[in-house]
Amino acid sequence: MKIYYEDDIEMDVIADKKIAVIGYGSQGRAQARNMADSGLNVIVGVRSGGNSWNMAKEDGMNVMTIEDASREADIVHILIPDEIQATVYEQSIEPYLTEGNTISFSHGYNIHYGYIKAPNGVNVTMIAPKGPGAMVRRTYLEGFGIPGLVAVEVDATGDALDIALAMGKACGFARAGILETTFKEETETDLFGEQTVLCGGVTELIKTAFETLVEAGYQPELAYFETCHELKLIVDLIYEKGFTGMWKNVSNTAEFGGLTRRSRIITQETKKEMEKILEEIQKGEFAKEWTLENKAGRPMLKRMRELEVGLKIEKVGSKLRKLCGLEK
Ligand X SMILES: CC(=O)[C@](C)(O)C(=O)O
Binding site membership for NADP(+): which residues? Answer: 24-27, 47, 52, 133
CA distance 144 to 175: 6
Closer residue to ligand NAI (CB): 140 or 247: 140
Q: Which residues are annotated as a binding site for substrate?
A: 251
Identify residue 122 by its one-letter amino acid code. V
Closest distance to Mg ion from the beta carbon of 105 (Å): 11
- Select the binding partner of residue 199 from ligand NAI, Mg ion, ligand X, none (C-beta < 5 to 8 A, by kind): ligand X
Alpha-carbon distance of 164 to 9, in angstroms, equals 10
Is the CB of residue 107 less than 8 Å from the CB of residue 128? yes
| 82: Cβ contacts below 8 Å, ≥ 6 apart | 107, 109, 110
Contact between 119 and ligand NAI by CB under 6 A: the answer reads no
Residue 138 interacting with ligand NAI (CB under 6 A):
no
**d(Cα 86, Cα 133) in Å, to the nearest integer?**
22
Task: Provide the 10 A C-beta neighbour count for residue 284.
Answer: 13
Q: Is 196 in the site for ligand NAI (CB under 6 A)?
A: no
187, 152 in Cβ contact below 8 A?
Answer: no
Please identify which residue in 14, 40, 61, 88 interacts with ligand NAI, judged by CB under 6 A.
88
x/- track of binding to Mg ion for residues 194-233 (CB under 5 A): x---------------------------------------
**Positions marked active-site:** 107
Report the nearest approach of ligand NAI to the CB of residue 230 (Å).
Answer: 24
Which residues line the annotated binding site?
A: 24-27, 47, 52, 133, 190, 194, 226, 230, 251
- What does the buried/exposed string (b/e) look like for 35-44 if buried means 16 or more CB atoms within 10 Å of the residue's CB? bbebebbbbb
As measured in angstroms, the least distance from the Cβ of 322 to ligand X is 25
Residue 144, amino acid: F
List b or e across 258-280, with b for residues whose CB sees 16 or more CB atoms inside 10 angstroms.
beeeeeeeeeeeeeeebeebbeb
Any contact of residue 188 with Mg ion (CB under 5 A)? no
Which residue is at the shortest CB distance from ligand X? 194
Q: Which residues contact 254 (CB under 8 A, 6 or more apart)?
A: none
Shortest distance, position 131 Cβ to ligand X, whole Å: 6
Q: Using CB under 6 A, which of the segments 81-89, 163-171, 205-213, 273-281 binds ligand NAI?
A: 81-89
Note the residues at the interface with ligand NAI (CB under 6 A). Answer: 23-28, 46-47, 52, 79-82, 84, 88, 106-107, 128-129, 132-133
